[in-house]
Amino acid sequence: MNEEVVKNFLLSAFSLIDNEEKRYISEVTIITIKSLLPQENEIGNRINYDRLEKEMELWYYYRQGDNTSLLNSIYLNNADVYWNEFDDSIYIRLTPIVFSNNNWDIIREEILKYILFTTGNISTILEGLMVSKILFLIMNNNEEMVDELKCEIINFSQSEFLEKFSQYFRVPVEKYPKKFSIEFERKRIALINILNGMGSNEFSTLRESLRTAQNNIQANNIQAEYSIFAKALYSIKNPISNKKDIGIYENFCDYLCKLNKGRIEPSLLAIDKYYLPNIFSFKEGEEFYHSLLSKCKVLKKEETKVVLKTKSGIYEFKR
What single DSSP character describes residue 297? E
Q: Is 260 left (phi over 0), alpha (psi -120 to 50) or beta?
A: alpha
Whether residue 62 contacts residue 317, with contact meaning beta carbons closer than 8 Å, is answered with: yes
Question: Each residue of 154-172: pLDDT tens digit?
Answer: 999 999 999 999 999 999 9
Question: Each residue of 4-53: pLDDT tens digit?
Answer: 889 999 998 998 887 777 899 999 999 999 999 999 889 999 999 999 99
d(CA 40, CA 37): 9
Q: Which amino acid is at 139?
A: M
Rg of the chain, C-alpha, whole Å: 20
Angle at 220 between CA 252 and CA 227, to 5 degrees: 50
What single DSSP character describes residue 319? -
- pTM score of the predicted model: 0.94
What CA dihedral angle connects 36, 39, 42 and 43, to 10 degrees? 50
Phi and psi for 155 in degrees, rounded to 5?
-90, 5
Question: Each residue of 1-18: pLDDT tens digit?
Answer: 788 889 999 998 998 887
d(CA 74, CA 56): 6
- Residue 269's contacts (CB-CB under 8 Å, 6 or more residues apart) are 37, 38
DSSP H or E segment with residue 306? strand 305-310
Question: Each residue of 122-136: pLDDT tens digit?
Answer: 999 999 999 999 999
Mean pLDDT (the chain, rounded)? 91
pLDDT for residue 97: 98
Express as a percent the part of the chain with pLDDT over 70: 95
Q: What is the β-pairing status of strands 305-310 and 45-47?
A: unpaired
Strands across the sheet containing 305-310: 287-290, 294-301, 305-310, 313-318
pLDDT level of residue 143 (50, 70, 90 thresholds): confident
Phi and psi for 310 in degrees, rounded to 5?
-125, 175
Question: Each residue of 239-263: pLDDT tens digit?
Answer: 766 645 666 788 899 999 999 998 8
Higher pLDDT, 253 or 267: 253
Residue 3: strand, helix, or coil: helix
pLDDT level of residue 312 (50, 70, 90 thresholds): confident
Phi and psi for 261 in degrees, rounded to 5?
-90, 5
d(CA 240, CA 8): 8
What single DSSP character describes residue 37? E
**pLDDT score of 220 more than 70:** no
DSSP H or E segment with residue 317? strand 313-318
Rounded mean pLDDT, 218-247: 74
- Residue 118's contacts (CB-CB under 8 Å, 6 or more residues apart) are 69, 70, 72, 73, 82, 87, 90
Half-sphere exposure of 313 (CA within 13 A, CB side): 14
